[in-house]
Amino acid sequence: MISMEDWITIRNLKKRNPKMGTRSIAKQLNLSRNAVRNALRSEDPPEYKRKANINQELEPFQEYITEQYFVKKLKGSRVLNDLHSKGCKVSSSAFYRYIQQYKTKFTRAYMRYETKPGEQGQFDWSPYTVMIKGKPVTVQVFCLILGCSRYRTYTYSLSQTRSSVFEALEEGLSRIGGVPERIQTDNHATLYNAKKKEWNPGYLRFASHYGFQPSRSEVRHPWSKGKVENPFSFLENHFIADNKFESLEDFSLELLDFEKQVNHRIHTTTKKTPIELFNAEEIAVLSPLPKNRFISVSEEFRKVSSDCLISVDGNRYSVPHTFASRDVWIRISQGVYLEVYSQSNIIIAKHTLERTEKGKIFMNKDHFQGYRGTKGTWNFLSQQFLTIAPGQEDFLKRINPSRHLTLIVEAAKHFSKNDIKEVIHLCDKYNVYRSDLFVDLLHQNSEPVLIPKLEQVNDLSILSPPGVIRSLSLVIVVEVVNSS
């Protein structure tokens, strides 16, 4: 076989001198005529292939090496030690050369796996440096994508805490409008303890609340989560790169618009838009969302002061005055916002957190509507009340029209219609129609939050779809205490 240099020289000589024969070229380069002919006929350069050197020491152990190294995935050093114990005297360098010869033979091939509608969702997140008001800000972007339709949602947070991860997944499920059978994630420590080889108890409680089976991708198995990896690559190249934003709110709105564009773009694999497949095949088979959002034990109780304030990280924030001196839940959302929830798991206030200064008070004047005297006309208040409690005209006639209706309307905004209906029944029963009694009864009779016990959530058998009532032995009831 001629060398690469000779092959190039032969072809260049013939190209510059078309009339030059093979004999002349062969004589000039001191090569055989056959070598010149073959070089001129071949459009591809010569490729040197080294003859496989079969190690006679290792040939008797070929089947053993294949099983131990390529199938069972044992370390090469372990297999080599085992060979030595079997009397094989091969050197380490010869052993690894032998393995290298067979690696291409045992390269694994994978058939593409398509999930059925509603079978699987994939969830992951990645940090990005985003320019906000001309300054670099690290933002965690979360993506939830359905395996069948490729319909996806993007959310963001400034933090990567467990609460932020749960919130992002919860927001994704909420925007999709349903829950797949299982959700595939990476091996994040937030969700899975690799050392103990078990799921994080909080994540199991989350999965139980929403009724999906948690599953994870194996380490170094990129093909098992490719559906969610590719959207991040697309996001980085088509949205993050060389883009600037005026504020986090601007970033959030642009991210939602980008999500909409992607879901209306034809997918290269399915040949359809994600929104088309989602509406036609997937949304109908998703499990329904639970009635309330998830509350984890990392979210804290706060006691509202008599002046309607709660304290968080050295600052104080207002809540509706009907929750004065009562217990509430708080949650830090997206690392930016403070959300305040009633004990029946209904949001009652939201503030932007102050991170740079301490000792400040943030008041929302809407939280004090009706605190002193009436607010608005009787007709206006009556319409508001009947919107919240339809069909209760007779009850409305019994309320003192001075201050009581305003307080009742303001309190009723933060409770469910079933809670209000039950309280109206109690007021009729006691024949008392004062606003203070109405508010107290609302807090006492609202549906409490149920939280699975931490020590029992490692058992996957407790996972149940939304709407299934679990035994009281698996829950702690958060009692609502009347402190007025």
Q: CB-based contacts of 481: which residues, under 8 Å, 6+ apart?
A: 326, 327
CA distance 470 to 452: 9
Question: Tokens 């994600």 appear where?
Answer: 274
Closest to 371 (Cα-Cα) out of 443, 418, 303, 439:
439
Q: Residues 6 or more apart from 175 whose CB is under 8 A from it?
A: 153
- Distance CA(476)–CA(449), nearest Å, equals 9
DSSP of 218-287: PTT-GGGGHHHHHHHHHHIIIIITT-EESSHHHHHHHHHHHHHHHHTSPPTTTSS-HHHHIIIIIGGGSB
The confidence score (pLDDT) of residue 476 equals: 28
CB 213 within 8 A of CB 198: no
- Sign of the torsion angle spanned by Cα atoms 420, 426, 427, 429: positive
Phi, psi for 341 (deg, rounded to 5) = -120, 145
- Residue indicated by tokens 């997918």: 267
pLDDT at position 275 is: 94
Cα(81)–Cα(313) distance, rounded to whole angstroms? 59
pLDDT tens, position by position, 148-175? 899 999 999 988 888 889 989 999 999 9
What is the rounded distance in angstroms from the CA atom of residue 304 to the CA atom of residue 301? Answer: 10
Tell me how far the alpha carbon of residue 356 is from its chain's centroid. Answer: 29
Q: Which residues pair with 301 in a beta bridge?
A: 329
**C-alpha separations of 71 from 107, 127, 258, 314, 341 in Å:** 11, 36, 44, 58, 54
Q: What is the DSSP string of 119-155?
A: TEEEEEEEEEEEEETTEEEEEEEEEEEETTT--EEEE
pLDDT tens digits, one per residue of 372-397? 554 556 777 788 788 878 888 888 77
Pairing of strands 315-318, 309-312: antiparallel
Low-confidence ranges of the chain (pLDDT < 70): 1, 4, 45-54, 103-114, 218-230, 295-299, 370-377, 401-403, 446-484
Gap between the Cα atoms of 145 and 259, Å rounded:
11
Look-up of token digits 């490719």: 226
Burial of 408: CB neighbours in 10 Å, binned 0-12, 13-18, 19+:
buried
Radius of gyration of the chain (CA): 34
| DSSP assignment string, 353-408 | PP-S-SS-EE--GGGGTTSSS--S-HHHHHHHHHHHSTT-HHHHHTS-TTTHHHHH
- Running DSSP on this structure, what letter comes out for residue 17? -
**Residue written as token pair 């170094």:** 220
The span from the first CA to the last CA of the chain, in angstroms, equals 98
- For 448, the enclosing helix (H) or strand (E) is none
- Model confidence, pTM: 0.55
CB 315 within 8 A of CB 354: yes
For residue 179, give the nearest of 287, 278, 279 by alpha carbon: 287
Kindly give, in sequence order, each residue whose CB lies less than 8 Å from that of residue 50, ignoring residues fewer than 6 positions away. none
Contact 420, 408 (CB under 8 A): no
CA distance 426 to 430: 6
Rounded to whole angstroms, the Cα distance separating 340 from 204 reads: 24
Rounded Cα distance, 319 and 102, in Å: 69
Residue with tokens 């072809």: 11
